[in-house]
Chain A
Amino acid sequence: GAVVSQHPSRVICKSGTSVKIECRSLDFQATTMFWYRQFPKQSLMLMATSNEGSKATYEQGVEKDKFLINHASLTLSTLTVTSAHPEDSSFYICSASGGKGGYTFGSGTRLTVV
Chain B
Amino acid sequence: GNSVTQMEGPVTLSEEAFLTINCTYTATGYPSLFWYVQYPGEGLQLLLKATKADDKGSNKGFEATYRKETTSFHLEKGSVQVSDSAVYFCALSVDSNYQLIWGAGTKLIIKP
Contacts and interface: CB of A to CB of B under 8 A. Distances in A.
Contacts of A40: 93, 96-98
Given A40-B98, A91-B99, A46 B104 contact: no
Contacts of A105: 102
Contacts of A42: 93
Interface in B53-112: 87, 93, 95-100, 102, 104-105, 107
Interface size class of B (residues with CB under 8 A): 20 to 34
A110 interface: yes
A26 interface: no
A38 B87 contact: no
Given A36-B43, A40-B98, A103 B34 contact: no
Q: Chain B binding site: helix, strand, loop or mixed by DSSP? A: strand
Interface in B4-39: 32, 34, 36, 38
Contacts of A59: 43
A36 B44 contact: yes
Task: Describe A's contact surface by its main secondary structure.
Answer: strand
B100 to A, nearest CB: 6
Given A32-B41, A36-B44, A102-B87, A43 B36 contact: yes
B93 A34 contact: no
Contact of B99 (A49, A95, A101, A108): A108
A12 interface: no
Contact of B98 (A102, A103, A110): A110
Nearest to A104: B105
Given A43-B49, A102-B87, A102-B105, A34 B95 contact: no
Of B41, B43, B87, B100, most buried by chain A (CB within 10 Å of CB) is B43
Interface in A52-68: 59
A105 B36 CA distance: 13
Nearest to A90: B98
B98 A91 contact: yes
A41 B43 contact: no
Contacts of A91: 98-99
A46 B46 CA distance: 10
Nearest to A1: B104
